[in-house]
């Protein structure tokens, strides 16, 4: 049995739920999974309310919200309803999965358990991570979360304040469009940008275009990934990736 409060619990969230239009079922699913992992065979709405830090006694409005979320999860096939005991969590829906799932730490889940929309925003950022960085632009988040750019900026700042993410800005006054998100690291230095890295990648790219035969398959693969990240940060100066498709002599 996993002890509640342990910091080594990983919650596994299906991408289908991460991008679900309603953020509450995502949070309820993850909290249900946590309840299952601490030794409960069934999950009642009262357990979810407790894990969501709802006041006691729980308001009926919150009860209905949780029950509606649980029913949505049943419709999506992630949990099963048992008439008497509550909701049965199907272990196969979140254990032993490698594709199409995003992990969330117990600590992050507990930090965000009373704010479903902010939790969804955090998980969307995690979903977009490639080599430790997420370069989704503002339009992606506004579409997925159905909110304004101002709201996304506010949620970004909340996650920064909670020390869950950090944001690099390639342009000093760019608040929205070209953010590069990374998970929080205590070594992060505010205001760091990619100007030196971009210059280096650009130089090596030009060198590759002139003399591709001097690059080994590993060097070619590494440079391609770096150029893909460069293009995400600099869409107006994107490099042609088709040059990497040439055969090595």
Q: What is the pTM of this model?
A: 0.68
Q: Which secondary-structure segment (H or E) carries 51? A: helix 45-51
In tens, the pLDDT along 91-129 reads: 555 554 556 788 888 889 999 999 999 999 999 999 998
128-193 classified as CATH 3.90.660: no
Q: In the chain, which ranges are E strands? A: 10-14, 42-43, 79-82, 86-89, 101-105, 129-130, 133-134, 165-169, 179-183
In tens, the pLDDT along 208-242 reads: 999 888 888 888 888 998 898 888 777 778 899 99
The sign one gets for the Cα dihedral 168, 114, 107, 73 is: negative
What's the average model confidence in pLDDT over 174-184?
69
Band (pLDDT 50/70/90 cuts) for residue 171 is low
Could you tell me the two tokens for 27? 């949070």
Residue with tokens 């210059």: 199
191 phi-psi bin (left φ>0, alpha ψ -120 to 50, beta other): left
Query: Start-end ranges of CATH 1.10.10 in the chain?
Result: 128-193
Could you tell me the two tokens for 158? 């909340």
5: DSSP letter:
T
Sequence-ordered list of residues with C-beta below 8 angstroms from that of 201, at least 6 positions apart, any chain: 223, 226, 227, 229, 230
């Amino acid at each position: 049995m996993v002890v509640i409060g342990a910091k080594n619990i990983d919650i596994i969230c299906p991408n289908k739920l991460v991008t679900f239009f309603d953020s509450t079922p995502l949070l309820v699913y993850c909290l249900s999974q946590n309840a299952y992992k601490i030794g409960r065979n069934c999950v009642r709405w009262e357990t979810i309310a407790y894990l969501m830090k709802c006041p006691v006694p729980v308001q009926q409005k919150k009860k209905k919200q949780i029950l509606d979320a649980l029913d949505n999860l049943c419709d999506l096939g992630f949990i099963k309803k048992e008439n008497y005991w509550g909701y049965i969590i199907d272990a196969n829906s979140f254990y032993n999965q490698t594709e199409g799932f995003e992990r969330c730490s117990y600590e992050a889940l507990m930090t965000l358990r009373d704010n479903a929309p902010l939790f969804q925003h955090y998980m969307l950022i995690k979903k977009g991570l490639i080599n430790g960085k997420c370069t989704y632009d503002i339009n992606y988040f506004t579409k997925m979360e159905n909110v304004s750019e101002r709201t996304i900026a506010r949620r970004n700042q909340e996650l920064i304040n909670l020390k869950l993410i950090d944001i690099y800005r390639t342009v000093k006054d760019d608040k929205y469009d070209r953010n590069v998100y990374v998970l929080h690291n205590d070594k992060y230095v505010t205001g760091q940008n990619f100007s030196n890295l971009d210059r280096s990648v650009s130089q090596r790219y030009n060198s590759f275009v002139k003399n591709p035969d001097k690059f080994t398959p590993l060097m070619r693969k590494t440079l391609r990934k770096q150029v893909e990240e460069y293009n995400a940060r600099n869409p107006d100066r994107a490099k042609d990736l088709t040059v990497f498709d040439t055969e090595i002599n």
